[in-house]
Structure 1
Amino acid sequence: MMLLLIVSVIVLLIVLNVPVAYAMLAGVAIYFIVNPSFMNETLTQRVVSGVESFPLLGIVFFITAGVLMNYTGITKRMLVFAKLVTGHLTGGLAKVNVLLSVLMGGLSGSNVADAAMQSKIVVPEMVKKGYAPGFSAALTATSSLITPILPPGIALILYGYVGNVSIGDLFIAGIIPGFLLAAILLVYVHFAAKKRGFEQEMNPFPSFKQVAIASKDALLALLLPILIIGGIRLGMFGPTEAGAVAVLYALVIGLFIYREMTFKDLVSAAKESVQIIATVMIIIAAGTAFGWMLTLEQVPQQLASAMTTSVEQPLAFLVLLLVFLLIVGMFIEGNVMLIILTPIFMPMLETYGIDPVHFGIFFILCLSIGTITPPIGTIMFTTASITKVKIETFIKEVIPFWLLLIGLTLIIIFIPALSLWLPSVLS
């Protein structure tokens, strides 16, 4: 009865447009207030303990590194390189959009940062070339979902931290699914551009000299994902230290090699990083406290027992979970669900014999779909607000992308090797 009351309060606050993190904190506060067995300091201790962890520093570092990319000239050079590679093809700018998400995904780790950056830089160019604003915004939102799957995705770090799963293995496991999603989007936008008459005048085929110059400019940025993954696999540093390396790398490139970052830019990047990090950490803190409350109420154990009793096959369990996550993802922010649900699902994985690394990629894909789904979708609101596209227009244009994402998730479910083969080879 108490749990039902708390959930009702949280839902009501969300409906009243209270941020999800604060709504959860309010619900947990009620639980502690009405329960006399807890001291007044217990809630504060639970909230603080949620962010008092060394692995979470990786999130801080990679968010900072991603923001620095936009101030050091790295993003601009990535855009030039992507335009040269795909600009002469049918739907060239749409393909630039996808390719840039792949390149930036290996650098920033933040889908929100990627979506915001492309909404400001790429979408206006697409609209000038004749693309529908709604299509451009929907594609930008969807292509940004490549970011949390590719290393060093923030979601991978968060899932590994909460679920006690190797973050290094998760980084490797996300490579093939991330590139597969990019390939599917490239094929789709090719035919969509042809069918809808987008960008009929293509750029001329680039010369070898142009490609060589663009590759040289982008090479230092392209080396960063290789440096991160290689350093982790060789044991030179862990995922958290890799984030610090990424920040240092971005600063060295911006200050001493490209020489485009000024002191004013550095201050602006620091402020932007702090704002994003604070938002993420508040969500983690609130989600941790809420998850602790659910554990005390035996919710994970009861759900695991009910699920394993009614569903016997691992594949059926994952398909059922896909439907559940798609529904819940419409109302709860992805990082919040990641923190709350991971401890609930981990005991079930042991029962069904599902590899936690494979499950992590599947889980993050499911949560990513929720970020472009109304009414809560964070990426949906980010791209729509920056591009000035109406939400109803965005929803109409994003439907084909939903179907593609669900199809990819089903492929990941039925072919675990897509996420497990590379870690097994490189381990």
Structure 2
Amino acid sequence: MAIFATLAVLIISFLLNIPIAFGLILSCLMYFTFNNSFSSEILIQRLISGMESVPLLAIIFFISAGILMNYTGITSRMLRFSTVITNPLPGSLAQVNVILSTLMGGISGSNVADAAMQSKILVPEMEKKGYKKSFSTVLTASTSLITPIIPPGIGLIMYGYVGNVSIGKLFMAGILPGIVLCICFMMYVHFYAKKYNLETDSSIKYSTKDFLLSFKDAALALLLPIIIIGGIRLGAFSATEAGVIAVLYAIVLGMFIYREMKVKQLILSLKETIQTAAAVLLIIAAGSAFGWVLTLERVPQKATELMVSFVSNEVLFFLITLIFLLIVGMFLEGNVLIIILTPLFMPMLIEYGIDPVHFGIFFIMCISIGTLTPPLGTIMFTTCGITGTRFEEFIKESWPFLLLLIFAALLIAFFPSISLFLPNLLGA
């Protein structure tokens, strides 16, 4: 009875648009109201213990590093480098959109920040080149989904923390899927540009010298993901310590090398970090308490038994999981789904013999797709709000991208080597 009342309160909270963290806390309070075996003080203990973890510091540090990077001049340098390397390709500016998302994903770790930045910078320029505003907006929103699966994606850290999965291995596992997704988008842009005759004959020619100069400017920023992965692999530091390195690297880069970040901007970036990190950690604390309730009621074990009794193999499991995540991703924010669903999926992975690192990349990618669809659609709202695109136009233009993303998710699901090649190679 208690667990049904808990879930009912949670669903009602979602329908009433109560902030997710408070909805989770209210549902936990309902559980303690119906279950007299525990005092409500345990809820406070569970909330606090949910944040008492060293790996969670990685989230704060990488959020801070991503925000600091916005003040260092890295974006303009990355944009220049992307423009040079995509210049010979059809639809070169749209190709820049794809490449820039991939490169910035290895620095910021935030798909919302990536989408907002490119909506302001690239979409107006793409319109001048003849691209429809709706296409440019959807492309920007879709390519930002590369960010969560490329290190140091915040989603990877949260999944690793909740599921007790190596964050270092998740970082390595996300590199090739991110590249695969980048290639898929570039191929689609190539055919789209050919079909509509967009930038098929570039009038600007860049020399080898231009390439080397643009690479030199972007090289220090491009080194960051290499330092993170390399340091973790060599055992020089943990994933949490890598976050500290990223913050220090961003400060040195912005204040002493590029010299585009002043003390005032440093203070602003730290304030922004506190606000963002507080919101994320509050969700984690509430989700931790809710996860404890689910574990106490053996919900993960019962869900696993139910799934195994109806689903006989891992292929069907992946298909059902994909459909389920696409649906719930339309209504719930990705970080919340990671907190709530990861404990439910872990016992199932054991039953089907699925590597949790492989599943983590698939899982995060599937829930990210929901950010492009109504009614929640955080990336959809962000990009449309900045570019002024109507939601109806966005939805109409987005279906090829949704199909492309679903195809990429299935590719990652059914070819585990895409995710596991680097972790297995570098972990040997």
Normalised to the residue count of structure 1, the TM-score between the two structures is 0.96
For 1:324, give the aligned amino acid.
F
User: Which is worse superposed, 28-37 or 139-148?
Assistant: 28-37
Corresponding residue for residue 110 of structure 1 = 110
Corresponding residue for residue 194 of structure 1 = 194
Post-superposition offset of 1:66: 0.8
Give secondary structure in 1 for the equivalent of 2:236: coil
Determine the C-alpha separation between the residues in 2 that align with 1:392 and 1:2: 41
Determine the C-alpha separation between the residues in 2 that align with 1:71 and 1:203: 32
Corresponding residue for residue 382 of structure 1 = 382
Post-superposition offset of 1:266: 0.9
Alignment of 1:133-212 (within 5 A): 133-199=133-199, 202-212=202-212
User: Which is worse superposed, 234-243 or 267-276?
Assistant: 267-276
Determine the C-alpha separation between the residues in 2 that align with 1:10 and 1:202: 54
Does the CA contact (< 8 Å) of 2:89 and 2:200 recur in 1?
Answer: no
Does the CA contact (< 8 Å) of 1:149 and 1:174 recur in 2?
Answer: yes
Q: Which runs of 4+ in 1 moved over 4 A?
A: none
Does the CA contact (< 8 Å) of 1:88 and 1:204 recur in 2?
Answer: no
Does the CA contact (< 8 Å) of 2:98 and 2:186 recur in 1?
Answer: yes
Post-superposition offset of 1:129: 2.3
Determine the C-alpha separation between the residues in 2 that align with 1:48 and 1:131: 50
Corresponding residue for residue 298 of structure 1 = 298
* Structure-2 change in CA distance of 1:137 and 1:295 (3 Å): same
Corresponding residue for residue 87 of structure 1 = 87
The question of 1:414 aligning with 2:414 is answered yes
Determine the C-alpha separation between the residues in 1 that align with 2:286 and 2:136: 34
Determine the C-alpha separation between the residues in 1 that align with 2:25 and 2:333: 14
The superposition leaves residues 217-274 of structure 1 with CA deviations (integer Å, 9 ceiling, x where unpaired) of 1010011111111100000000000011011001101111111111121122112222
For 2:253, give the aligned amino acid.
I
Give secondary structure in 1 for the equivalent of 2:18: coil
User: Which is worse superposed, 114-123 or 233-242?
Assistant: 114-123
Determine the C-alpha separation between the residues in 2 that align with 1:261 and 1:75: 13
The superposition leaves residues 112-144 of structure 1 with CA deviations (integer Å, 9 ceiling, x where unpaired) of 221121122222222232222211111111111
Determine the C-alpha separation between the residues in 2 that align with 1:375 and 1:364: 19
For 1:192, give the aligned amino acid.
Y
Determine the C-alpha separation between the residues in 1 that align with 2:25 and 2:398: 32
Does the CA contact (< 8 Å) of 2:62 and 2:243 recur in 1?
Answer: yes
Give secondary structure in 2 for the equivalent of 1:51: coil
For 1:144, give the aligned amino acid.
S
Normalised to the residue count of structure 2, the TM-score between the two structures is 0.96
Determine the C-alpha separation between the residues in 2 that align with 1:196 and 1:277: 43
Post-superposition offset of 1:197: 4.2
Corresponding residue for residue 403 of structure 2 = 403
* Structure-2 change in CA distance of 1:88 and 1:265 (3 Å): farther
Post-superposition offset of 1:203: 4.6
The superposition leaves residues 58-88 of structure 1 with CA deviations (integer Å, 9 ceiling, x where unpaired) of 1111111111111011111111111111134
Determine the C-alpha separation between the residues in 1 that align with 2:185 and 2:294: 38
User: Which is worse superposed, 176-185 or 66-75?
Assistant: 66-75
Percent sequence identity over aligned pairs: 60
Post-superposition offset of 1:191: 1.4
Structure 1, unmatched stretches of 5+, are: none
Determine the C-alpha separation between the residues in 2 that align with 1:197 and 1:24: 51
Corresponding residue for residue 55 of structure 1 = 55
Determine the C-alpha separation between the residues in 1 that align with 2:203 and 2:275: 39
Corresponding residue for residue 238 of structure 1 = 238
Does the CA contact (< 8 Å) of 1:369 and 1:402 recur in 2?
Answer: yes
Post-superposition offset of 1:331: 1.2
User: Which is worse superposed, 57-66 or 274-283?
Assistant: 274-283
RMSD of aligned Cα (Å): 1.5
Structure 2, unmatched stretches of 5+, are: none
For 1:360, give the aligned amino acid.
G
Corresponding residue for residue 97 of structure 2 = 97
User: Which is worse superposed, 1-10 or 283-292?
Assistant: 1-10
Does the CA contact (< 8 Å) of 1:131 and 1:199 recur in 2?
Answer: no
* Structure-2 change in CA distance of 1:100 and 1:302 (3 Å): same
Post-superposition offset of 1:416: 0.9
Does the CA contact (< 8 Å) of 2:284 and 2:339 recur in 1?
Answer: yes
Does the CA contact (< 8 Å) of 1:330 and 1:374 recur in 2?
Answer: yes
Corresponding residue for residue 307 of structure 1 = 307
Alignment of 1:214-233 (within 5 A): 214-233=214-233
The question of 1:10 aligning with 2:10 is answered yes
Does the CA contact (< 8 Å) of 1:149 and 1:175 recur in 2?
Answer: yes
Does the CA contact (< 8 Å) of 1:74 and 1:218 recur in 2?
Answer: yes
Does the CA contact (< 8 Å) of 2:2 and 2:34 recur in 1?
Answer: no
Determine the C-alpha separation between the residues in 2 that align with 1:249 and 1:368: 28
Does the CA contact (< 8 Å) of 1:71 and 1:265 recur in 2?
Answer: yes
Determine the C-alpha separation between the residues in 1 that align with 2:367 and 2:55: 21
For 1:183, give the aligned amino acid.
I
Determine the C-alpha separation between the residues in 2 that align with 1:63 and 1:41: 31
Determine the C-alpha separation between the residues in 2 that align with 1:118 and 1:71: 15
Determine the C-alpha separation between the residues in 2 that align with 1:397 and 1:55: 39
* Structure-2 change in CA distance of 1:196 and 1:109 (3 Å): same
Give secondary structure in 2 for the equivalent of 1:107: helix
The superposition leaves residues 340-361 of structure 1 with CA deviations (integer Å, 9 ceiling, x where unpaired) of 1111111111111111111111
